[in-house]
Amino acid sequence: MNFKIDVDMTPEELRKVLGLPDVESFQKEMMNKIQERMDAGVEGYDPLTLFKPYMNSGLDSMDAMQKMLLNLMTSYTSGHKGSDKK
């Protein structure tokens, strides 16, 4: 038996359903800072230094999310191997 569910929602609605934060203001702020530094002609400007404080925690949380999903998939597949027999 197969089920198909189509969900029609905007990216904002999906983000809220998944509990993800709204990062639009953060993105605008970061782009404004980058633009200011570019306009000022800061010597040795490296845009990656602006993101460094945010990327470390972001990558850790992404790694944790991947591990959680892998554990869910592993436990699901290992728990249903013997249940396919009729």
pLDDT tens for 19-64 read 888 888 888 998 888 788 777 766 666 667 766 666 666 556 777 7
Least confident stretch, 9-18, 22-31, 44-53, 67-76? 44-53
Pull the structure tokens for residue 55.
């990327």
- The answer to whether 62 touches 46, Cβ cutoff 8 Å, is no
Residue pointed to by tokens 């089920």:
3
How many independent structural domains does the chain possess?
Answer: 1
**Could you tell me the residue range of the domain that residue 68 belongs to?**
24-78
Pull the structure tokens for residue 46.
């490296």
- Give pTM, 2 decimals: 0.36
The verdict on residue 61 lying in a domain is yes
The verdict on residue 83 lying in a domain is no
The verdict on residue 31 lying in a domain is yes
The verdict on residue 58 lying in a domain is yes
The verdict on residue 56 lying in a domain is yes
Phi then psi for residue 31, to 5 deg, are -65, -35
The verdict on residue 84 lying in a domain is no
d(CA 74, CA 79): 8
